[in-house]
Amino acid sequence: MSKETKYFSRSMNEDGIVDWSDEDNQVWQDLYERQIAIIQDRACDEFMHGLELLNLPTDRVPQLFEVNQVLAETSGWQVEQVPSLINFDAFFNLLANKKFPVATFIRSREDFDYLQEPDIFHEIFGHCPLLTNPAFAHFTHTYGKLGLAASKQDRAFLARLYWFTVEFGLLHTAEGTRIYGGGILSSPGETIYALESDQPKRQAMNPLEALRTPYRIDIMQPVYFTLNNFEQLFELANLDIMALVNTAKKLGLRAPLFSQKDKIAS
């Protein structure tokens, strides 16, 4: 997970406050206003309920302690500042201790529509609403504990399960297919593409298949896995996931549904 980046976290003062610039706050406001309009009737109810609980400011970047107050009351999770991209050891260690990593930087206007690095908008707006949900919080905690104890090879397989759930998961509902993956819900282009395009495959969540399915981070996803209900995350967490990883290693990866020439996501 560690690579070169032009972005670095802003430091906190002794009171845990980040001194965001006026431009940073304006970028947050513009991102929030655009995305909140796009996710209406596209995000799942569980996400929208969590967003309501968090009551994020719309005109400025939230402070981490504000988010932590709500998470502590709902699920016992916390967000923790990290210095931009972190390695897998640090990532899994945080999740295993019910801490979600948040880099305290926000994208520039130049990268307004798409950013590969997870900035504070992606982490807070995209992921934190569902950390108030018991099923999502339990799955993420379980994933962290498994990853912390896993080998480097096994972590690569586990990353695919995380990708197709926490980052890019879909959900069947009585009102139709909805989104719960934070990677989709923080991206205007992919929010619409994931539900309305006829290009990607959408298939029922099969954890073994998810573990075997390659992905790229810089394109619109060619395949999405869909839960039958949100409680299925509890069921996934209670499976013997490492046994499934061993099976996936024996069977090998599926052929990728993308090429190096695919268009970058937005």
The pLDDT of residue 83 = 87
- DSSP bridge partners of 201: 223
Strands 223-227 and 201-204: parallel
- pLDDT of 160 above 90: yes
61 belongs to a structural domain: yes
pLDDT above 50 for 266: no
Please state, rounded to an integer, the average pLDDT across all residues of the chain.
95
Instruction: For residue 163, tell me if it sits in a domain.
Output: yes
For residue 16, which amino acid is it?
G
pLDDT band at 261 (very low <50, low <70, confident <90, very high): low
Q: Name residue, tokens 């959900």.
A: 171
CA 60 from centre of chain = 21
For residues 5-31, give the mean pLDDT: 95
pLDDT in tens, 84-115: 889 999 999 999 999 999 999 999 999 999 88
The model's pLDDT over 62-81, given as tens digits with 9 standing for 90+, comes to: 999 999 999 999 999 999 99
CATH of the domain at 79: 1.10.800.10
Q: How confident is the model at residue 216 (pLDDT cuts 50, 70, 90)?
A: very high
Minimal CA–CA distance to 211: which of 148, 136, 158? 158
Q: Is residue 4 in a domain? A: no
Binding residues, by number, are 122, 127, 167
Confidence at 1, pLDDT banded by 50, 70, 90: very low
**pLDDT value at position 116?**
86
What is the pLDDT confidence band of residue 260, given thresholds at 50, 70 and 90?
Answer: low
Residue 262 lies in a domain: no
* Contacts for 172 with CB less than 8 Å, ≥ 6 apart: 226, 227, 228, 229
Q: How many domains does the chain have?
A: 1
Q: What is the mean pLDDT of residues 191-206?
A: 97
Task: Please indicate, yes or no, if residue 202 is contained in any of the structural domains.
Answer: yes
Range of the domain at 26: 21-251
Mean pLDDT on 253-258 = 94
Would you list which residues are annotated within the binding site for Fe cation?
A: 122, 127, 167
C-alpha closest to that of 32 among 99, 111, 112, 132: 112
Give me 107's structure tokens. 């994208």
pTM above 0.75, yes or no: yes
Note whether residue 263 is domain-resident.
Answer: no
Q: Which of 194, 212, 207, 201 is nearest to 233 (CA)?
A: 207
In a domain, 150, yes or no: yes
- How many whole angstroms separate alpha carbon 254 and alpha carbon 127? 28
Residue 10, domain member (yes or no): no
pLDDT at 211 over 60: yes
